[in-house]
Structure 1
């Protein structure tokens, strides 16, 4: 089959690789009909995430048709399914608490030591996202093997277009969980750093959860325009000082809740961010954490901090004193996708949530290397690329 493989920094290629096979009775093989490039994929593209190996197949946002099942899979051939990016067993201690991204069995035994060493405990497996998260082949391919297929994938009703439901795989549940973790109360003002896909879904979710005001922060004009379409007020950090603007907009109190949807590759010519970039380029650091620092400083006393953004390693200059003195709370983590998928599918079917607004480009899977370059270098115009095998034929 054809698949997009990682070969190094800014080097992804369409390779011909062996077709996936059933390895476990709970497996299923999915023929991909749609797969997307996530902002987190750019962390791999930029070589920020460790334990990638040449030839690893990328992609963790995908859906398709079931073509083969193991004897213990609950799926049936011919069903259309969206697959969550987190790989979870459904029966361990954490899965029993619906904490699927903390599954004890999502990682193969050979991979658990890596995460144990770096993070203290292993997380769940992830598709197409390094050997630290299992070394699983991803879904930017013609076919993919889905472990624990009796737990993860959700069956999509006939007649529902891929574009409406594809983002159930990751970014829609991630944006929803981000807003839920912000513990939004009626009348709240919520500030969202980053108007990428997760940030925009967090904006939409925050309003659905009762926020009175949502303030979206970015520097890409078209992304800020998308946020305004949902009713958000906006701050362009290249034109305004974010802290000062937020204080003015909230009468000096600060937002009730803040959401960091930027992560380890923060942009902007800020002193702390420039230092972070220098340290990362000289291997003295890993993450650029300007956005989470700024969010903590801007949040009101007694407020809530939600951090769906991806960070990979150790950081310095973290405003721990402000965090403690202001009495803030922080919730973060990979998304428990399986927990949210059924309710969000219903919301899509009832037209309470729109997802298709985000798609800027639909391209053939064979054009994936070009699509990565576009997404990396033109984030104002490229908000989301959906790849479809055989689109150009």
Structure 2
């Protein structure tokens, strides 16, 4: 089969690789119909996530048609399914508490030792995201092996297009969990750092959960416009001092909740971020957490900070004094996707959530390397890319502009 493979920093290729096979009775094989490039894939593209190996198949936002099942799978051949990016057994201590991304059984011992050294405990398994998370092949390919297929996949009812449900695999539940972790109360003012796909879903989710005001922070004009169309007030961090602006907009109190959707590759010209850039360049660090620091310093006393943004190493200059003295609460973590998919699918069916409006391009798998480059270099115009293995090479389709009104 054909698949997108990682070969080093800024080196993604389309290779012919062996087809996946059933190796466990709980496995299933899907023929991939849609797979997206995620913002966190850029951390792999930029070489910030360790333990990638040449030839690793990328992709953790996947869906398709079931074509083969193991004897203990609950799926049936012919079903359309969305595959959560987290691989979870469904029965360990953490899965029993619906902490699916912390599954104890999905990361093989040969690879979990690496993450245990870094983080104190082994990470759960995930598709297409380095050997820290199990070394599983991703779904930016024609076919995908799905472990624990009796636990994770979401069977899609007839009448829903791929674009409406694909993001149940990752970014929709990630944005939703980011808002849930912010413990939003009716009438709250919520600030969201980053208007990429996760940030936009966090904005949409915050309104669904009762926020009165959402203030979105970014610097890409198109992203800010998308946030504004959803009802958010917007701040371009190149034009204002974000902390001063939030102070003024909230009458000197600060946002009730801050959701940091940027992660380890923060933009910005602040002294702290320039120092972080230098440390990354000198290989003295991996994370640039300027947005994280800003969220902690901007949040009101007694407020809540939620961090769905991805981090991988050690954070420098963490404002622990502000965090403690202000009495903040913080929640973070990889998304417990399976905890939220049923509820979110129902909301999509009821028209409460729209998941299609920010897709900017559909492209073939063969055009994947070019799409990675565009996604990396032109994030203002390439807001979300969906790869379709069924399209012919060069058949890139830019989606028509669509005005969005929040559900």
TM-score range normalised by the length of the shorter chain: over 0.9
**Deviation string, structure 1 residues 64-99 (Cα, Å, up to 9, x no partner):** 000000000000000000000000000001000000
Q: Equivalent residue for 1:40?
A: 40
Q: Distance in 1 between matches of 2:338 and 2:358?
A: 22
| Residue 306 (1) aligns with residue 344 (2) | no
1:1-393 to structure 2, matched below 5 A, reads 1-392=1-392
- Structure 1 counterpart SS, 2:357: helix
CA distance, structure 2, for counterparts of residue 297 and residue 379 of structure 1: 27
Q: TM-score, normalised by structure 2?
A: 0.96
- Alpha-carbon distance in 1 for matches of 2:162, 2:345: 12
User: Partners in 2 of 1:160 and 1:354 — Cα distance?
Assistant: 12
Task: Measure, in 1, the Cα distance between the counterparts of 2:110 and 2:375.
Answer: 33
CA displacement at 1:159 relative to structure 2: 2.3
1:337 CA drift (Å): 0.2
* Residues 89-148 of structure 1: CA deviation (Å, up to 9, x unaligned): 000010000000010001012111111111000121010000010000000000010000
1:305 is paired with a residue whose SS is strand
Q: Deviations over 1:24-65 (max 9, x none)?
A: 000000100000000000000000000000000000001000
The 3-state SS of whatever aligns with 2:3 is strand
Using the alignment, how far apart are the partners of 1:112 and 1:52 within structure 2?
Answer: 14
CA–CA separation in structure 2 for the residues paired with 1:390 and 1:232: 36
* Secondary structure of the structure 1 residue equivalent to 2:62: strand
What's the secondary structure of 1:123's corresponding residue?
A: coil
In 2: Cα distance, 1:224 partner to 1:149 partner: 38
TM-score with structure 1 setting the length:
0.99
Query: CA separation in 1, counterparts of 2:155 and 2:51?
Result: 33
Report the Cα distance in structure 1 between the residues aligned to 2:112 and 2:216, rounded to whole angstroms: 38
Matches of 2:138 and 2:144, distance apart in 1: 7
Which portions of structure 1, spanning 4 or more consecutive aligned residues, are displaced by more than 6 angstroms? Answer: none
Deviations 1:263-296 (A, max 9, x none): 0000011110000000001111110000000000
Mark the runs of 5 or more structure 2 residues left unpaired by the alignment. 394-407
Aligned residues: 393
SS at match of 2:362: strand
Aligned-CA RMSD value: 0.6
**CA deviation digits over 1:205-261, x for unaligned, max 9?**
000000000000000011011111111000000111101100000001000000000
Distance in 1 between residues matched to 2:186 and 2:160, nearest whole Å: 33
1:177-198 deviation line (CA, Å, top 9, x unaligned) = 0000000001100000000000
Measured after TM superposition, the shift of residue 390 of structure 1 is 2.2
Distance 1:52 1:27 in 2: 24
What is the DSSP-based 3-state SS (H/G/I as helix, E as strand, rest coil) of the residue aligned with 2:7? Answer: strand
Counterpart in the other structure of 2:402: none
**CA deviation digits over 1:290-318, x for unaligned, max 9?**
00000000000000000000000001100
CA distance in 1, matches of 2:124, 2:190: 30
**Structure 1: distance between partners of 2:218 and 2:194:** 5
Segments of 5+ residues of structure 1 without an aligned counterpart are none
Match of 2:405 in 1: none
2 CA distance for matches of 1:73 and 1:19?
Answer: 19
